[in-house]
């Protein structure tokens, strides 16, 4: 609008309303792509409304993956960002410099006056280049999250307040790289024309990629663990003890357990501890596919570690005992924060499993989910050792007896059958205590104590009569006890 006004005032040109309207629409379209504040004031809305332009809220894109790409050898990566609290409003910029090894070699922030968000984004790029020029970093790669700022630099439509600094900075670089953080990479070449330069798209695959990138789909590469055939003896152990197959056993275990050990990688903010594994005791709730959902405090160390590096392992054991003969599973995967529109859904999943515990955390905690499961390693406790197929694990549904009040069911069954099971298992050696710690459709796992020693024993239900409810479990256990009494008589 100011451009049209200046042409009328100083260049004696007639007002072309359709051209003015077209330019405004073009600028709105450019600035609205991933912009943090396109029309943040009623004045912007008044302008487009008077021009007969309808407006609507644009949906924010969902971030599905993050790529960490290192610069070339002896190249400096400049990550720029600028923002304002209004459009215009109080603004500021921040820039991070990294070398080809990913190390931070420089950081600076700068407060601005009342400026639009577009101005702050352009200022961040130009100021980052200016600081790199002072350090004599000649090979640079600039990354920004603003389409509008990138288009402005490509077409030399820099805000006039930044034009002198831009011209001075550009003199120090003949060729440099500019990239949107979600798009491809462009060469910015210094030329002799009135424009800042021309652009040439570079295929993204030509950039170096670290092993943290995971590509899904057929034909793509995937980093992770290789499954090795170390599951010998699984078939015999499973059939001998009436165990569910490993994938189903893991699903049942995830339903019955409430707590697990989460191991994350210490981030750079922890200085000398960076790179070391960090273990935490956390609570969780699995979703319908068996992916664990977590409730984390933003102040927790494991939360900060996951935000820097989502790779982790989760070790889950049958509740009630932590001995080496106990069944346990290690799940390898990547944990990310859930988007805001899924927080309420995750809260309901938590309440269903943890009852009042999760509702008390709702105000201060944020929900995360292991979106990608890369491997599952299961030790069943009865000679069962297996790498579990992920697709099978996600497809299977846990036994109904494990889902419906698993912990409460075990308490009730122990109250009724603890002493009879102790007598049942004392046929050869006298035992001091017996307690049920796990149940599935095929049988129960019992923790047995002899003096100071503990071990796990398995009792299978009758073949062909899978147990689904608490009453069926009571009937099956009573039948086994009655059968044993008749044999003794």
d(CA 250, CA 452): 29
Residue range of the domain that includes 116: 76-206
Domain boundary among 374, 397, 420: 397
pLDDT band for position 224 (cuts 50, 70, 90): very low
**Residue 239 within a domain:** yes
Give the pairing of strands 443-450 and 366-379: unpaired
Summarize the confidence of residues 228-246 as an average pLDDT: 46
Residue 372 and residue 292 share a domain: yes
Residues 6+ apart with CB under 8 A from 260: 281, 282, 283, 284, 292, 314, 315, 316, 317
Q: Are 199 and 142 in contact (CB under 8 A)?
A: no
Residue 360 and residue 256 share a domain: yes
pLDDT in tens, 344-393: 898 888 888 776 544 445 457 889 999 999 999 998 765 678 899 999 99
**Residue 458 within a domain:** yes
C-alpha triplet 271, 371, 58: angle, nearest 5°: 95
Q: Helices 406-424 and 470-488, interaxial angle, to 10°? A: 0
| Long-range CB pairs of 8-16, under 8 A, 24+ apart, other chains included | none
C-alpha triplet 399, 402, 404: angle, nearest 5°: 105
Domain boundary among 366, 397, 428: 397
d(CA 126, CA 109): 13
**Residue 319 within a domain:** yes
- Least confident stretch, 71-75, 136-140, 323-327: 323-327
**Residue 69 within a domain:** no
pLDDT in tens, 427-437: 767 788 888 88
What residues pair up with 296 in beta bridges, in sequence order? 366
d(CA 244, CA 400): 13
pLDDT of residue 399: 87
User: What 8-state DSSP symbol labels residue 34?
Assistant: T
Summarize the confidence of residues 49-58 as an average pLDDT: 66
Q: Are 118 and 7 in contact (CB under 8 A)?
A: no
Cα 354 off chain centre by: 22
pLDDT band for position 222 (cuts 50, 70, 90): very low
pLDDT band for position 33 (cuts 50, 70, 90): very low
Q: Helices 117-134 and 163-170, interaxial angle, to 10°? A: 30
Q: Is 354 helix (H, G, I), strand (E, B) or coil?
A: helix
Q: What is the CATH number of the domain that holds 421?
A: 3.20.180.10
Supply the pTM of this predicted model.
0.49
pLDDT of residue 281: 93
Q: Which residue has the higher pLDDT, 147 or 227?
A: 147
Determine whether 451 is exposed, middle or buried from the number of CB atoms within 10 Å of its CB (0-12, 13-18, 19+): exposed
Residue 390 and residue 241 share a domain: yes
The four Cα atoms 481, 482, 485, 486 give a dihedral, to 10 degrees, of -140
Dihedral (CA of 379, 382, 386, 391) sign: negative
Length of the chain: 489
pLDDT > 70? residue 169: yes
| CA-to-CA dists, residue 448 to 26, 250, 340, angstroms | 74, 22, 46
**Residue 202 within a domain:** yes
Q: What is the CATH number of the domain that holds 123?
A: 3.30.420.10
Residue of 250, 255, 260 whose CA lies nearest to 403: 255
**Residue 457 within a domain:** yes
Residue 437 and residue 391 share a domain: no
Q: Are 267 and 405 in contact (CB under 8 A)?
A: no
Residue 251 and residue 200 share a domain: no
Residue 250 and residue 175 share a domain: no
Residue 390 and residue 296 share a domain: yes
| CA-to-CA dists, residue 166 to 97, 123, 195, 265, angstroms | 19, 9, 12, 41
Residues 6+ apart with CB under 8 A from 239: none
pLDDT of residue 213: 28
The structural domain count of the chain equals 4
Domain boundary among 191, 206, 221: 206
Helices (H) and strands (E) in the chain, counts: 15, 17
Residue 174 and residue 277 share a domain: no
Residue 304 and residue 393 share a domain: yes
Q: Is 71 helix (H, G, I), strand (E, B) or coil?
A: coil
pLDDT in tens, 115-129: 888 888 889 998 888
User: What 8-state DSSP symbol labels residue 99?
Assistant: -
d(CA 339, CA 350): 16
**Residue 434 within a domain:** yes
pLDDT of residue 489: 52
Residue 414 and residue 387 share a domain: no
pLDDT of residue 152: 81
Tokens 């922890």 belong to residue: 270
Residue 254 and residue 167 share a domain: no
Cα 422 off chain centre by: 46
Dihedral (CA of 368, 373, 377, 379) sign: positive
Residue 412 and residue 331 share a domain: no
Six token digits for residue 183: 């798009």
Average pLDDT, the chain: 75
pLDDT band for position 100 (cuts 50, 70, 90): confident
pLDDT of residue 190: 38
d(CA 370, CA 390): 13
User: What 8-state DSSP symbol labels residue 205?
Assistant: G
Residues 6+ apart with CB under 8 A from 346: 293, 295, 338, 367, 369
d(CA 403, CA 162): 62
**Residue 101 within a domain:** yes
Summarize the confidence of residues 139-158 as an average pLDDT: 82
pLDDT in tens, 300-309: 999 999 999 9
Query: For residue 176, which phi and psi values (nearest 5 degrees)?
Result: -150, 170
- Residue 99: CA atoms inside 13 Å, Cβ hemisphere, count? 9
């Amino acid at each position: 609008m100011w451009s049209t006004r200046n042409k009328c005032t100083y260049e004696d040109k007639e007002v072309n309303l359709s051209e003015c309207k077209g330019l405004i629409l073009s600028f709105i379209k450019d600035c609205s792509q991933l912009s943090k504040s396109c029309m943040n004031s009623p004045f912007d809305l008044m302008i487009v409304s008077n021009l007969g332009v309808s407006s609507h809220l644009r949906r924010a894109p969902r971030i599905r993956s993050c790529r960490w790409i290192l610069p070339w050898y002896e190249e400096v990566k400049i990550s720029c960002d600028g923002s304002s609290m209004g459009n215009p409003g109080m603004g500021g910029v921040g820039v991070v410099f990294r070398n080809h090894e990913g190390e931070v070699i420089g950081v600076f922030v700068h407060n601005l006056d009342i400026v639009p968000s577009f101005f702050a984004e352009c200022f961040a790029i130009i100021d980052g280049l200016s600081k790199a020029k002072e350090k004599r970093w000649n090979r640079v790669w600039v990354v920004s999250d603003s389409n509008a700022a990138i288009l402005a630099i490509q077409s030399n439509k820099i805000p006039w307040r930044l034009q002198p600094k831009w011209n001075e900075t550009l003199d120090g670089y003949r060729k440099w790289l500019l990239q949107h953080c979600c798009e491809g990479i462009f060469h910015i070449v210094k030329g002799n024309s009135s424009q800042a330069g021309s652009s040439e798209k570079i295929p993204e695959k030509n950039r170096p990629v670290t092993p943290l990138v995971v590509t899904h789909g057929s034909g793509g590469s995937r980093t992770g663990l290789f499954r090795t055939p170390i599951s010998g003896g699984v078939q015999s152990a499973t059939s001998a003890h009436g165990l569910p197959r490993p994938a189903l056993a893991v699903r049942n275990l995830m339903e019955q357990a409430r707590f697990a050990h989460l191991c994350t990688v210490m981030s750079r903010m922890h200085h000398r501890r960076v790179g070391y594994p960090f273990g935490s005791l956390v609570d969780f709730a699995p979703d319908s596919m068996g992916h664990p959902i977590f409730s984390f405090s933003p102040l927790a160390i494991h939360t900060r570690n996951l935000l820097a590096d989502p790779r982790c392992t989760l070790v889950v054991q049958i509740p009630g005992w932590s001995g080496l003969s106990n069944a346990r599973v290690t799940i390898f995967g990547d944990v990310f924060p859930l988007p805001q529109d899924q927080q309420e859904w995750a809260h309901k999943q938590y309440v269903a499993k943890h009852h009042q515990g999760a509702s008390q955390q709702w105000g201060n905690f944020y929900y995360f989910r292991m979106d990608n499961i890369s491997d599952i390693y299961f030790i069943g406790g009865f000679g069962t050792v297996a790498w579990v197929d992920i697709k099978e694990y996600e497809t299977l549904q846990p036994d109904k007896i494990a889902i419906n009040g698993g912990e409460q069911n075990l308490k009730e069954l122990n109250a009724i059958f603890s002493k009879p099971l102790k007598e049942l298992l004392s046929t050869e050696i006298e035992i001091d205590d017996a307690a049920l710690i796990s149940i599935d459709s095929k049988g129960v796992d019992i923790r047995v104590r002899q003096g100071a020693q503990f071990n796990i024993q398995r009792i299978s239900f009758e073949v062909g009569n899978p147990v689904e409810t608490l009453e069926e479990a009571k009937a099956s256990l009573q039948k086994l006890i009655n059968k044993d009494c008749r044999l003794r008589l």
